[in-house]
A and B are shown apart, each in its own frame.
Chain A
Amino acid sequence: MILHPGIIALLGGTSLVTVMVLYSSYEGFKIIRYWDRESSSARQLSLERKTYLLSSMIAFVLAINLLSLFLFIYTVDDIHTQFVGAMCATGTLNANTIGWWALLLKVTIFFVSSIWILINYIDQRTENLPLVRKKYASLILFLPLFILDVYFEIKFFLGLSPDVITSCCGALFSENSRGIASTLAGLPIRPMKYTFFATVAAYFLTGFLSYRYTKIWLIYLTAFLAILFFFISIVSLISFISLYFYEIPTHHCPFDILQKEYHYVGYPLYITLLGATVFGLFPGFAELMKAEGVPLMHWQRRWLLTALLLLIVFFLIVLYPMIFSSFTLEGYD
């Protein structure tokens, strides 16, 4: 199953990224070991120069990771036709359940690398680079995630064998591969709706208040709510939001909205969801990494504003089919 164009591209991309992270960790280790701000030795100079290289590498890694997240879902969806009983990406992921872990890992890596970029951003804009050691220590800490990502991907795609016609008889009877559930059972709709709207409201309100007053506890609360918002939104997407896009009360797939048939609405939806979460997390993490001489407040407010705007866009996209389509869930919720 490995010789599929999408899979080759995906494996190539993630391997490249992993090599970069490996190299960055190696250089990061040297930085942790020898970094001395006061020194003016040749080594210190070369280390300082290396930080430029490493930060642009990790920025590249983040960009590729985000793209590969979508490429992964797309590829998994593209090959679903080769498995008995699979209707969309969910079916393929169920055909070899390690795929779910690969997907989860990719989302985690997205968050981790965005937060790393954030720390880097703060660090580079501070006079004496106070976070250098922490920054590279965290990079080494995250290294296993990237290696695991490649490992999961390979294991997932190697483990998939398409159900094709074999020489003795149809594949149908050679193996008992049927009965794979291709739908995700959603949570009950009505309570989920309340939870979702309540979470969005709470997140928006706290975000707005912390934008207004920039109190530390509010900022931490926002970060916490951002994580909560992310999970609740994913669950709601499966439970009821997707139904409005498909206009079928039984179709819960979180991946089909990425398809042409639904006007690629999934892309803005997921990108705003990821963005609203990440920018809500930023102020909290920045607070943790606070160092002297940083105009933190100014940035925090900017991030909060970004998060709020993305949240509004996300919410509007979710709301649109609920209000304007003729599809209703009455009687099903």
Chain B
Amino acid sequence: MRRHLMILEFALSCLCRRKYKNLALLFAFSLLVFILSSILLLTYALKKEAIEILQGAPEITVQRTVAGRHELIPVEYINKIKTIPGVGKVEPRYWGYYYDPFIGANYTLLGANRDMLRKIEILEGKSFFSEQKGVCIVGKGVAKAYFAEVGDRITIIGADGISYTFKIAGIFKTASDILTNDLIILSNDDIKRLFQIPTGFATDIVVEVYNPEEIETVAEKIKKLFPSTRPITREEILRTYESLFDWRSGMILTMFIAAVVAFVILAWDKATGLSAEERREIGILKAIGWESSDIMELKFWEGFVLSSLSFFTGLIGGYMHVFFFGAPLLSTALKGWSVVFPTLKLTPYVSAYQILVLLFLTVVPYMASTIVPSWKAAMTEPDQVMRG
């Protein structure tokens, strides 16, 4: 044990003696870990955020499709869905997207039902009653785009070409940024008027199911009742989000594989290209009684110290990048695109799994790349180098 520690100490002093060469490697290594850890941490945090938000989503969302595309759904379907045992509240939902030509951004417009208005708490200003017309609640991003405050009015051009104005009753606070940033909540009647939704139709229908075990059966029954609909369960949305985020981060990681390879080549090169001084040093060590296996251990410790140092530097850097600064370097690639960007305040989340994956992507290739060079160094003949 003591012997190993002594070799470790010697390795540390070796690293210090060749500061600049090792600093260059340290920098490149940390940068690599920084990028890869940012990707991993960001995607997992986004995934977590999505999952948390979706916990509050309705159990089943029923959409009607015509020729494979989403269509308005007749409200009368509700009565039949209500008769399915185990089904709780069934409500129509009115919503849509709106492109604002003045700002050049897309908003989500959502009709509010009574329950939702009662539940909204994260407000500056106050909520409104569902019967009230001409008022709205907007997300922070929307308010910022209009330079609007509570009490101001915003203008939305309806499908009939007439512009409607709405008084801002409240603004969402940052706590639910991703969800509410580009959101405008109006009363159902306003939305119907704005989008010219014919009476008796809704955008989709949300279904509450009391027992989570019965969700799939209920969805199946709805599908049988109305073959032209597609009931989407909450679980399905969750699954889709998960694989989407996995796919995205995997995609970006794959692009960075080239960087990993380049780094491995750099590490290999650095480890192989021993200076004459280093060779002499190894020669002397062997001459005074170090065995080849000791030299290999020395090289192993050097690599170990270097990689753990860079790994933690990179990981801490990635952590700060993602959770303190909102991942400015990556967010456009991973979040999707929109003009009204939410400012990300992600919940910090690091798991042992992410670290293990990172280790496999960075430290393992590095260690592998140093095996052959350190063996070559260990095989140096003392008499040759000292004479030379």
List the interface of chain A (C-beta within 8 A of B). 1-10, 12-13, 16, 20, 49, 52-53, 56-57, 60, 64, 67-68, 70-71, 74-75, 78-79, 81-84, 162-165, 167-173, 178, 260, 264
Contact = CB atoms under 8 A, between A and B. Distances in A.
Contacts, number: 132
Given A16-B365, A173-B223, A79 B233 contact: no
A2 B292 CA distance: 41
Nearest to A71: B356
B250 interface: yes
A173 B220 contact: yes
B294 to A, nearest CB: 11
Interface in B198-257: 216, 219-220, 223, 230-233, 235-240, 242-244, 246-247, 249-251, 253-254, 257
A60 B233 CA distance: 46
Interface of B: 39-40, 43, 65, 68, 216, 219-220, 223, 230-233, 235-240, 242-244, 246-247, 249-251, 253-254, 257, 292-293, 296, 300, 351-353, 356-357, 359-361, 364-365, 367-368, 371-372, 375, 378-379
Interface of A is mostly: helix
A5 B239 contact: no
Contacts of B364: 12-13, 16, 64, 67
Contact of B230 (A16, A163, A169): A169
A207 B332 CA distance: 60
Contact of B356 (A4, A74, A163, A170): A74
A114 B359 CA distance: 22
A86 to B, nearest CB: 10
B239 A16 contact: no
A53 B219 contact: no
A229 to B, nearest CB: 28
Contacts of A178: 216
Contacts of A165: 232, 236-237, 239-240
8 contacts: A1-B243, A4-B250, A5-B246, A8-B257, A79-B246, A165-B240, A168-B68, A170-B236
B243 A12 contact: no
Given A5-B253, A71-B360, A172 B219 contact: yes
Contacts of A164: 236, 239-240, 243-244
A83 B242 CA distance: 11
Given A170-B230, A173-B223, A6 B357 contact: yes
Nearest to A9: B360
A146 B249 CA distance: 28
Contacts of B250: 2-5, 7-8
A88 B145 CA distance: 44
A57 B373 CA distance: 12
A181 B345 CA distance: 39
B293 A6 contact: no
Contacts of A78: 353
B223 A82 contact: no
Nearest to B351: A260
B239 A56 contact: no
Contacts of B296: 52, 56
A16 B371 CA distance: 13
Contacts of B240: 164-165
A5 B223 contact: no
B371 A53 contact: yes
B241 to A, nearest CB: 9
B375 A53 contact: yes
A109 B225 CA distance: 54
Nearest to B244: A164
Nearest to B51: A81
A74 B351 CA distance: 11
A313 B220 CA distance: 51
B236 A172 contact: yes
A171 B39 CA distance: 29
Contacts of B243: 1, 82, 162, 164
Contacts of A82: 239, 242-243, 246
A60 B371 contact: yes
A28 B209 CA distance: 64
Given A5-B40, A8-B361, A74-B353, A81 B238 contact: yes
B128 to A, nearest CB: 33
A20 B368 CA distance: 9
A53 B353 CA distance: 31
Contacts of B246: 3-5, 79, 82
A81 B235 CA distance: 9
A222 B186 CA distance: 76
Given A8-B254, A81-B238, A170-B219, A13 B371 contact: no
Contacts of A2: 250
Nearest to A164: B240
A3 B292 contact: no
Closest CB pairs A-B (n = 4): A3-B250, A9-B360, A169-B230, A164-B240
